[in-house]
Chains A and B, each alone.
Chain A
Amino acid sequence: MTNHPLKVIVAVKRVIDYNVKVRVKADRSDVDLSNTKMSMNPFCEIAVEEAVRLKEAGLVGEIVVVSIGPKSCQEQIRSALALGADRGLQVECDTPVSPLDVANILHKIQQEENADIFLLGKQSIDADNNQTGQMLAALLDFPQATCASRVKIEHNKAIVTREVDGGLLTVEMSLPAVITTDLRLNEPRFAALPKIMQAKRKPLAVKTLADLAIELTTDIELISVDSPTQRQAGVILSSVDELMSTLRNDPNVQMPKHDKEA
């Protein structure tokens, strides 16, 4: 192969663990994350795993993992290093960042790193934005493949199968490109203890927003956060017969006509 080994940047976000149910603060200002278990966003874990697999297949030379957030997000960078990323970069920021902020920051980082592939999660499970990868691709004028369930790299191209509303759509993009991961792309491995120890010695740089000359956006203001209306548990019925006749008698339910009675 004459191709140079590719460089991949994976962006990982520290979020509430997906198993934890959130509570809204009494003053409705936000959700309460104090004493909450935090983890790597599940879609970012899938992105890290995919990068590591591409490296294991000899297609990728270096994996750089980036996280934007307070010092605590170094924990997620270390997890990614333990899974096989080569070096980490934390962009220090103690206030919440918007998708455009993250895209602006990654755009700046790209000017130094010159990566061939950006791997991001399709969505962060806290803010549920599903925006950052597309925004980054726009700023870089790169092609994008969102919601990837299969990625193949060959001849400086990425062939990506995307999960779309009607089924699956496969596209071919020239590199450099942005790919965002969907759930079925792979199943992330668990880091083995020796790898976790090794990861402590891998390089992890820290930059500030000032280093990158980034100013955060202010266009979206959070006004309040509320709990959704809770559903009440209904009734447990004792048999199929009872369930079917209850459904037939519920004015909200339009059951098809009863053939046997018609």
Chain B
Amino acid sequence: MKTLIIAEHNQHDLKADTLVTLGAAQQLGQPIDVFIAGHDIGQLGQDAASVGGIDQVLTWDHEALAMSFSETLAPVIANLRSQYSHILLASSSFGKDLAPRIAALCGVNAVSDVIDIISANQYKRPIYAGNAIATVQNNAACQVLTIRTSAFSAPSHEPAASPAHIQALSIELPDMSVRFVEQTLSESSRPELNSADIIVSGGRAVGSEANFSLIYDFADKLGAAVGASRAAVDAGYIGNDLQVGQTGKVVAPSVYIAIGISGAIQHLAGMKDSKVIVAINNDPEAPIFSVADYGLVADLFEAVPAMTAHL
């Protein structure tokens, strides 16, 4: 049997998450096809075909797919199920929205947030905000999985010797019950949270949107991405897309620097697999210190500018 990966892209490039999902899929040791839906994706399809490790690229190109919704994609993907034993998506907001919709149409449960592929039907996944790790066996004929990308890596790049076969699907577009209204994407020249080597995160203690400049200045000197706790996002200091935690992004950089963050279990769920954790907090009892490799008990308004000055 074969594995199908549902690609995520911005109409020009595959997202890093999709390449990591390819890395995970390779552990299943069977041929891999990639499904790409979008508008004007001829070049994207060719780029995907030359990535290496891919058997076949399925493209579905339609003007109406410039913004593709799960309602449209799920039935088309579910219809391909007889050819695939595994359908993989990244555990991104795109993947989490789409995978269960595909699974239900196939009449199966999905396995969310796979962090370890033990065999072709056994997986590990975190439950209870990562405070327990479940090993599950999936007995479905077609298994739908979402891959937690912080736990896998992209295949080391070896471009295909000859490009994969590209198959253009021609499928009629059903009526759409969802309409795009608007999108506010955060523009940032900083590294992305998901792939950054260093992350500097600020919490409630940063105190205001303006004060976050302390965090940005420090991060920029380090070449780091910026993250935040839920409290900082809720207070409006920073955008929702930068929340780290059980219900935000899950990250595992080489270095995670938590500044003015207490270390609630829901926050730890998103960062405790970082290689090195640094915490700066003025409360020596803050729970974050129990997971930090290096701690500094200090007022962040003094410590952070001093650290920036060091760089």
- A positions within 8 Å CB-CB of B: 16, 18, 21-22, 24, 31, 98-100, 103, 122-123, 125-139, 142-147, 149, 159, 162-174, 177, 182-184, 217-228, 231, 233-237, 239-241, 243-244, 246-247, 250, 252-256, 258-259
Interface residue from B112, B132, B277, B307 paired with A227 (Cβ < 8 Å):
B132
Residues of B contacting A: mostly: mixed
Interface residue from B181, B183, B197, B289 paired with A159 (Cβ < 8 Å):
B181
Contact (Cβ within 8 A) A234 B132: no
Interface residue from B108, B185, B276 paired with A219 (Cβ < 8 Å):
B108
When distances are taken between beta carbons in the complex, the residues of chain B under 8 Å from A174 are 177
Residue of chain A at shortest CB distance from B142: A219
- The 27 listed contacts between A and B (C-beta, < 8 Å) are A125-B128, A128-B113, A133-B100, A134-B96, A134-B100, A134-B101, A143-B71, A143-B178, A144-B70, A170-B181, A170-B183, A171-B181, A172-B178, A172-B179, A172-B181, A221-B137, A222-B135, A224-B134, A225-B134, A227-B132, A237-B295, A240-B298, A243-B278, A252-B254, A252-B255, A253-B254, A254-B254
Residue of chain A at shortest CB distance from B146: A130
When distances are taken between beta carbons in the complex, the residues of chain B under 8 Å from A31 are 127-128, 132
Contact (Cβ within 8 A) A184 B240: yes
A-B complex: 9 closest residue pairs judged by Cβ atoms: A234-B293, A135-B104, A134-B100, A138-B104, A131-B100, A143-B177, A170-B181, A219-B140, A164-B93
Give a binary string over B95-107; 1 marks a CB under 8 Å from any A CB, 0 the rest. Answer: 0111111111101
Residue of chain B at shortest CB distance from A187: B234
Contact (Cβ within 8 A) B100 A256: no
Cβ of B272 < 8 Å from any Cβ of A?
yes
Interface residue from B71, B111, B246, B297 paired with A220 (Cβ < 8 Å):
B111
Query: Interface size of B by Cβ–Cβ distance < 8 Å?
Result: 90
Quick one: given A100-B103, A233-B292, are A131 and B110 in contact (CB under 8 Å)?
yes
Residue of chain B at shortest CB distance from A228: B133
Cβ of B117 < 8 Å from any Cβ of A?
no
Give a binary string over B180-221; 1 marks a CB under 8 Å from any A CB, 0 the rest. Answer: 111111100000000001100000000000000000000001
Interface residue from A217, A228, A231, A252 paired with B132 (Cβ < 8 Å):
A228
Cβ of B160 < 8 Å from any Cβ of A?
no
Contact (Cβ within 8 A) B278 A225: no
* A18 to B128 alpha-carbon distance, docked (Å): 9
Contact (Cβ within 8 A) A147 B93: yes
User: Which of B107, B109, B297 is packed against the most chain A CB atoms within 10 Å?
Assistant: B109
Quick one: given A167-B185, A220-B139, A243-B296, are A254 and B197 in contact (CB under 8 Å)?
yes
Contact (Cβ within 8 A) B100 A231: no
4 more CB-based (< 8 A) A-B contacts, given A138-B104, A173-B177, A182-B247: A128-B129, A130-B100, A227-B132, A228-B132
User: Which of A127, A131, A142, A247 is packed against the most chain B CB atoms within 10 Å?
Assistant: A131
* A134 to B98 alpha-carbon distance, docked (Å): 8
Nearest-neighbour CB distance to chain B for A16, whole angstroms, equals 7
Nearest-neighbour CB distance to chain B for A244, whole angstroms, equals 5
Quick one: given A99-B109, A134-B104, A236-B289, are A128 and B254 in contact (CB under 8 Å)?
no
Interface residue from A132, A136, A173, A250 paired with B178 (Cβ < 8 Å):
A173
When distances are taken between beta carbons in the complex, the residues of chain B under 8 Å from A131 are 99-100, 103, 109-110, 112
Interface residue from A138, A149, A170, A237 paired with B100 (Cβ < 8 Å):
A138
Nearest-neighbour CB distance to chain A for B233, whole angstroms, equals 8
* A68 to B139 alpha-carbon distance, docked (Å): 24
Nearest-neighbour CB distance to chain A for B297, whole angstroms, equals 6
Contact (Cβ within 8 A) B104 A225: no
Contact (Cβ within 8 A) B109 A220: yes
A-facing residues in B210-250 (Cβ within 8 Å): 221-223, 230, 233-234, 239-241, 246-247, 249
Contact (Cβ within 8 A) A135 B101: yes
Quick one: given A165-B241, A219-B109, A235-B294, are A128 and B128 in contact (CB under 8 Å)?
yes
Quick one: given A21-B265, A234-B294, A236-B289, are A171 and B180 in contact (CB under 8 Å)?
yes
Nearest-neighbour CB distance to chain A for B277, whole angstroms, equals 7
Nearest-neighbour CB distance to chain B for A252, whole angstroms, equals 5
Cβ of B46 < 8 Å from any Cβ of A?
no
Contact (Cβ within 8 A) A240 B306: yes
Cβ of B64 < 8 Å from any Cβ of A?
no
